[in-house]
Amino acid sequence: MRTPARHGPAASTIAWRAASLLVVATLLISAIVGGLLRAGVATPVPSASAWPAQAVLAHAFLMMSAFMGTVIGVERAVAVKHRAAFIGPMLSALAGLAMLGAQPALAAWLAVAAALGFVIVNLVVVKRQPAAHTALLLVGALALLVANLLLALGSAAASVIPGWFSFLVLTIAAERLEMTRLMRRRRGAASALYICLAALLLGAAAFALSPAMGALVFGVALLGLAIWLMVFDIARRTIAASGLSRYMAACLLLGYAWLAIAGAAWMATGLGLPLRDVALHALGLGFIFSMMLGHAPVILPALARIKVEFGVHFYLPLAVLHLSLALRLFAAPFLPAALRLGALGNALAIALFAMTMVGAALTWRARHTNPA
Amino acid sequence: MADVHIPYPYDGPPELEATIEGALRQVVDPEIALTIVDVGLVYGVRVVERDVQVRMTMTSAACPVTDVILADVQAELDAVLPPDHSIQVELVWDPPWTTDRMSPRAKQFMGW
């Protein structure tokens, strides 16, 4: 009598998803290879091709604008459930491929078009649910648009990077703010967050005039945000739960610690201390990638229609990420090899995480395949 | 049953009430470690003839996990209801979700 709860997707849909996954993986792997080469890790790459050099040059663009821009774009497109919403992430993925194909101008303008699409999707979200967190998501999208536009107009990547980070940090802050709705409202909590985020945008904008002043303000804002998250986020509650919830909370809390370190490091670079690697990677890997590791097990089923079975082994890539990052960022000033070793560990953590996800998806299938 | 928090209005045969609530309590949002019933996302359940209708909401319109949660609700109900019953899960945004909908257990967990 009853129609099945879920129909299997059409072959064309599966092919489409597989192709998308392949492109996103290409962007991530290229960005990682670029990062490894930057850190001085001997990485086997084809010498005749342009892409390794492009991956090195455009590491930040590939990681933030192309890879994360695409993944977050798909995430939002899935939420608004409209076909046209996927145009943005398609363009940002193409922008990444164009960059790897040594077409930086084309890549930058494709990224602008992608960000424009992403802004429109976020406007739809705000219209559907006018709330503080959806408004912040929109501001994050605008930060991405401005950053990509600056790149297309010829700004150096160094002055664009704070804009890309602002997009990611605002996106995360917005989602965390949404979660704090489950806690009792503390007086001034929301205002404190808005002050931190306004300072973040102010700092990012100030880079164009004075990189030192920009870094200082950006750092103060990140530190403020880290404290805010440690005080108000639900992770301090959900760490007491079990299974996947506790794992996610661990990813969040570790991320907040790195966010505080990143804030201090950005401030230090503003004061002239040589801590740029700490500033960039405590934020990018310690905070943002830790968030990704935490959320992939719930986002993956939503984006790719693949369910995963949680297990304690999920903690392994998380531990490798944070330990290798600590090695890289704390030991490198005293031990030059620590940078290479740490960077290799960072890459290994992401590879281990990908394998964990594949394994967890296969386990889920094996457990839930009903022979009847 | 008198002192138990009533999570959502139920309109249907009494013999299915506990079965349906049990199934809905299987759906957990891992991000917040609470069931959709405890968070108060279920607005109401009606059983008309053999048609089970669930009205529910989400806390965020930007949430990409919405479809997964709706599919989980469908699957959990599918597993416990008699095969001649159909299931409809409807997502609504009006009225918007508020913390007043959270169960005492959920509030305690979140430190209220």
Query: How confident is the model over B41-49, as a mean pLDDT?
Result: 96
Q: Which of A72, A176, A182 to mutate to test the interface with B (most CBs of B within 10 A)?
A: A182
Question: Could you tell me the pLDDT band of residue A8, with boundaries at 50, 70 and 90?
Answer: low
Report A:250-289 residues touching B (Cβ under 8 A): none
- In the structure encoding, which two tokens stand for residue A316, read together? 């392994």
What residue spans define the domains of chain B?
10-109
- In this predicted structure, the answer to whether residue A69 has a pLDDT above a threshold of 60 is yes
Contact residues on chain B for A297, CB-CB shorter than 8 A: 30
Contacts of A13 (CB under 8 A, 6+ apart): none
In chain A, what residues touch B33 (CB-CB under 8 Å)? 237-238, 241-242, 245-246
The answer to whether residue A78 neighbours chain B at the CB level (below 8 Å) is yes
Q: Does residue A239 have a pLDDT over 90?
A: yes
Q: Rounded to the nearest 10 degrees, how much is the dihedral formed by the CA atoms of B41, A123, A89, B31? A: -20
The string of pLDDT tens digits covering residues A42-61 is 888 877 788 899 999 999 99
For the full predicted model, state whether its pTM sits above 0.90.
Answer: yes
Phi-psi region of A156 (alpha: psi -120 to 50; beta: other; left: phi over 0): beta
Contact B96 A129 (CB under 8 A): yes
Q: Mean pLDDT across the stretch B19-45?
A: 94
For residue A96, give the nearest of A65, A75, A56, A57 by alpha carbon: A65
User: Alpha-carbon distance A236 to A246, whole Å?
Assistant: 10
- Is a pLDDT exceeding 80 seen at residue A370? no
Q: Cα separation of A160 and A276, whole Å?
A: 15
Range in A66-75, A108-117, A163-172, A331-340 with the lowest mean pLDDT: A331-340
| Site from B35, B60, B74, B97 to mutate, A interface, most A CB atoms within 10 angstroms | B60
Least confident segment among A349-353, A367-371, B77-81:
A367-371
Q: What is the pLDDT of residues B82-105, one digit of tens each?
A: 999 999 999 998 898 999 999 999
Q: What pLDDT is recorded for position A15? A: 87
**Three-state SS at B56:** strand
A14 pLDDT more than 90: no
Mutation target vs A (from B26, B28, B32; most A CBs, 10 A cutoff): B32
Give how far B43 is from chain A: nearest CA, Å: 17
Closest partner residue to B66 (CB to CB) among A79, A133, A245 is A79
Q: Domain B10-109: what homologous superfamily?
A: Fe-S cluster assembly (FSCA) (3.30.300.130)
Spell out a b/e string for A280-296, using b for 16 or more CB atoms within 10 Å of the CB, else e: bbbbbbbbbbbbbbbbb
